[in-house]
Structure 1
Amino acid sequence: MRSMRSNKSKSRGHDPPTHDAPTHSSQTNHQTSIELTTQRKRDLLASVGFLEQDEELPQVQLAGSIRSNKDQHRYQTKEEEYYHEKEERRRRKQQMKNSHRIDFDEFDFHFQDEYIDEEDKHRTEDEDLSDNSDDEYSLNSQGSNTMQSSKSGIRCNIATKLVYVLAMVAAFIYIFGDDSSNKTDEKPIEHEYYSYQGYKDARMPDDDQYGGGSSFQDGVGSSDNSAASSQHGIDVKSNIDTTSSEHDIDTTNSIDTPSTKHETGVPNEESIWQNLSGYADLSEPYNPDEGDIAFFWHVPKCGGTTLQDLMMHCMGMVGANEVGGAYANDNEPLQIVQMENGNRYVNVDVTQVDGIQHALDMGFASSGLADVALSSRFHNVASLFLTNSDQYANTVARGRCFALLRHPVKRAISMFYYLRDATWEHTYSEVYKSMTIEEYAVSQYAEDNWMVRFLTNEMSGILNDGHLDLAKQILQSKCLVGLLEEFPQSVKRFNRYFGWDQTDFQGGPVPMSDRGMCVARVMSKPDNVHEHPNHGEGSEVWVKLMEKNVFDIGLYEHAVELFHSVQVKLVGD
Structure 2
Amino acid sequence: MFIDEKNMVIEPTANSTLIFFLHLPKTGGTTLNSILKRQYLSHQILSIDQQFNTTIQAPQMSKAELSKLKIVKGHFSFGYHQFFSRPFTYFTMLRNPVDRVISDYYHIIRVPQHKLHNQVISQNMSLEDYVCSGISRMSENGQTKFLSGKHTEIGFNQCSSEILELAKNNLKEHFIVVGITEKFNESLILLKRALKWDFKKCLYIKQRVGNNRISKNDIPIKTLKLIQKYNQFDLELYHYGIDIFNELKEINEIDFQVKKIIFFNKIYRDYYAKLPNFAKSICQQFI
TM-score, normalising length from structure 1?
Answer: 0.37
**Distance change (3 Å), C-alpha of 1:384 and 1:444:** closer
Structure 1 moving runs of 4+ over 6 Å = none
Partner deviation per Cα, 1:301-343 (whole Å, 9 max, x = no partner): 0011111111213x3x135xxxxxxxxxxxxxxxx3xxxxxxx
Match of 1:362 in 2: 63
Instruction: Indicate if the aligned counterparts of 1:318 and 1:371 stay in contact, CA closer than 8 A.
Output: no
Match of 1:550 among 232, 239, 247: 232
Matched, 1:484 2:181: yes
The answer as to 2:244 corresponding to 1:562 is yes
Instruction: Look up the match of 1:426.
Output: 115
Q: Does residue 350 of the first structure (1) align with residue 42 of the second (2)?
A: no
Aligned residue identity for 1:477: E
- The match for 1:511 is none
2:94–2:180 CA contact under 8 A, matched in 1: yes
For residues 455 and 541 of structure 1, the distance between their equivalents in structure 2, rounded to whole angstroms, comes to: 25
Q: Does 1:318 align with 2:20?
A: no
- In the alignment, does 2:21 pair up with 1:300? no
* Equivalent residue in structure 2 for 1:449, among 119, 138, 141: 141
Residues 519 and 572 of structure 1, relative CA distance in 2, 3 Å threshold: closer
- Hey, what does 1:439 align to over in structure 2? 129
Cα distance between partner residues in 1 of 2:82 and 2:215: 40
Contact 1:438–1:540 under 8 Å retained in 2: no
Query: Aligned residue pairs: how many?
Result: 234
Change (3 A) 1:568 1:519: closer
**2:120, 2:130 within 8 Å by CA — same for their partners in 1?**
no
Query: RMSD of the alignment, in Å?
Result: 3.0
Please state how far the C-alpha of 1:355 moved relative to its aligned partner: 6.0
The verdict on how the C-alpha distance between 1:411 and 1:311 changes in structure 2, with shifts beyond 3 A counting, is same
Give 1:454 shift: 1.7
CA 1:378 to 1:445, structure 2 compared with 1: closer, same or farther past 3 Å? closer
Check the 8 A contact 1:349/1:356 in 2, yes or no.
no
Q: Which residue of structure 1 aligns with residue 154 of structure 2?
A: 460
2:266 aligned with 1:541, yes or no?
no
> What letter matches 1:460 in structure 2?
I
Asked whether the equivalents of residues 378 and 455 of structure 1 are also in contact (C-alpha less than 8 Å), the reply is yes
**Which runs of structure 2 are paired with 1:26-37 in the superposition (5 Å)?**
none
TM-score (norm 2): 0.71
Check the 8 A contact 2:19/2:90 in 1, yes or no.
yes
Q: CA deviation at 1:544?
A: 0.3
> Equivalent of 2:81, from 363, 369, 382?
382
- The 1:564/1:444 distance shift into structure 2, 3 A limit, reads same
Give the match for residue 526 of structure 1: 206
SS of match in other structure, 1:300: coil
Match for 2:6: what amino acid? N
Shift of 1:559: 0.3
On the 8 A contact 2:168/2:237 being kept in 1, the answer is: yes
Residue 569 to residue 370, structure 1, CA distance change in 2 (3 Å) = farther
Structure 1 residue ranges without an equivalent (≥5): 1-250, 257-277, 279-288, 320-335, 337-344, 387-396, 502-514
Deviation (angstroms), 1:405: 0.9
Q: Which runs of 5+ in 2 are unaligned?
A: 255-287
**Shift of residue 380 of structure 1?**
4.8
Report the CA distance shift for 1:400/1:488 in structure 2 as closer, same or farther (over 3 A).
same
Establish whether residue 415 from structure 1 lines up as the match of residue 107 from structure 2.
Answer: no
Q: Do 1:441 and 1:541's aligned partners in 2 also have CA atoms closer than 8 Å?
A: no
> Identity across aligned pairs (percent)?
22
Cα distance in 1, alignment partners of residues 250 and 15 from structure 2: 23
SS class of match (2:49): coil
- Deviation of 1:364 after TM superposition, in Å, equals 5.1
Distance change >3 Å, CA 252–CA 476, structure 1 → 2: closer
User: Is the contact between residue 535 and residue 541 of structure 1 (CA under 8 Å) also seen in structure 2?
Assistant: no
Residue type matched to 1:378 in 2? Answer: S
Q: Deviations along 1:207-232, whole A, 9 cap, x unmatched?
A: xxxxxxxxxxxxxxxxxxxxxxxxxx
- Partners of 1:463 and 1:436 lie apart in 2 by 23
Cα distance, 1:473 vs structure 2: 1.2
Aligned pair in 2 of structure 1 residues 555, 544: CA closer, same or farther (>3 Å)?
A: same
Q: Which amino acid aligns with 1:533?
A: I
Shift of 1:413: 0.6
The answer to whether the 8 Å contact 2:22/2:78 transfers is no
Secondary structure of 1:358's partner? coil
**Farther off after superposition, 530-539 or 475-484:** 530-539
Partners of 1:431 and 1:529 lie apart in 2 by 20
Q: Aligned partners of 2:77 and 2:125: how far apart in 1?
A: 31
Letter in 1 for 2:215: N
- 1:358 and 1:442 map into 2 onto residues whose CA distance is 36
Distance 1:385 1:403 in 2: 19
Higher relative contact order by CA 8 Å / sep ≥ 6: 1 or 2?
2
Q: Structure 1 residues 478, 440: CA separation in 2 closer, same or farther (over 3 Å shift)?
A: same
AA aligned to 1:476 is K
How many Å separate the matches in 1 of 2:28 and 2:135?
22
1:378 match: secondary structure: coil
- The amino acid of 2:210's aligned partner reads H
Contact 1:303–1:484 (Cα < 8 Å) also in 2: yes
Match in the other structure for 1:499:
196
